[in-house]
Chains A and B, each alone.
Chain A
Amino acid sequence: EAQVTQNPRYLITVTGKKLTVTCSQNMNHEYMSWYRQDPGLGLRQIYYSMNVEVTDKGDVPEGYKVSRKEKRNFPLILESPSPNQTSLYFCASSLQGPDYNEQFFGPGTRLTVL
């Protein structure tokens, strides 16, 4: 089944403890992206990647890192999480850039930083 998977789905952690949220797609998509969803703010793009080894900052990249060493994986790394990073995170992918291509979203990761 074609899909985007994220792990973990739920995570409660403490300030400063490094964590990684994994994202994987099995559709051979080139474009991948991370978003965070906060009440009243809509989906905001954190980082995106047009292809392997190519990553760029979205609108809210501070406090996050990403890597794209393989086409299928695009992990989101929080080196030193803080409470303001408590949010719902979505990974998404599309065949190529999202000009003509719809994005497929993962199931979301709900992160709480205490």
Chain B
Amino acid sequence: ILNVEQSPQSLHVQEGDSTNFTCSFPSSNFYALHWYRWETAKSPEALFVMTLNGDEKKKGRISATLNTKEGYSYLYIKGSQPEDSATYLCAFWVNRDDKIIFGKGTRLHILP
């Protein structure tokens, strides 16, 4: 059974501090990894699609790295702001059968 693990489950960060969290996935059968941001009462929105080992992507204060050989991706948020409060999901695409497997998410709370 393929599993995608995200840690920590929940995180409280002071406004202005930087933070990061992890997505771990099976290193075999890797095809793509997605990061999504999910605000309460809204729908998930894509942040990054990552496919190559060593990929680094950036969008404003948020960036992500990918290590397919060891099976992990990091999401970084620099200078956290209240609007960063959300659940961050990673999703692993299994090439062999086009399924997508989501992690349970990291719930980020930004403290004023």
In the assembled complex, the Cα of A77 lies from the Cα of B102 at a distance in Å of 23
Question: In angstroms, how far is the closest chain B Cβ from the Cβ of A100?
Answer: 6
Question: In angstroms, how far is the closest chain A Cβ from the Cβ of B3?
Answer: 11
Q: Are B98 and A101 in contact (CB under 8 A)?
A: no
Assess whether B14 is interfacial by the CB under 8 Å rule: no
Name A99's contact: one of B43, B51, B101 (CB within 8 Å): B51
Question: In angstroms, how far is the closest chain B Cβ from the Cβ of A52?
Answer: 15
Name B102's contact: one of A40, A43, A101 (CB within 8 Å): A43
Q: Are A98 and B43 in contact (CB under 8 A)?
A: no
Interface residues of B in 72-112 (CB under 8 A from A): 89, 91, 93, 95, 97-105
Question: In angstroms, how far is the closest chain B Cβ from the Cβ of A53?
Answer: 15
In the assembled complex, the Cα of A90 lies from the Cα of B32 at a distance in Å of 21
Interface residues of A in 93-114 (CB under 8 A from B): 97-108
In the assembled complex, the Cα of A23 lies from the Cα of B97 at a distance in Å of 23
Q: Are B99 and A99 in contact (CB under 8 A)?
A: no
* Chain A CB within 10 Å, residue with most, of B51, B97, B99: B99
Known: A99-B51, A105-B45. A45 touches B104 (CB 8 A): no
Known: A98-B34, A99-B95, A100-B32. A107 touches B43 (CB 8 A): yes
Q: Are B34 and A102 in contact (CB under 8 A)?
A: yes
Chain B positions within 8 Å of A, measured between CB atoms, are 31-32, 34, 36, 43-46, 49, 51, 89, 91, 93, 95, 97-105
Chain A positions within 8 Å of B, measured between CB atoms, are 33, 35, 40-45, 48, 50, 56, 58-59, 90, 92, 97-108
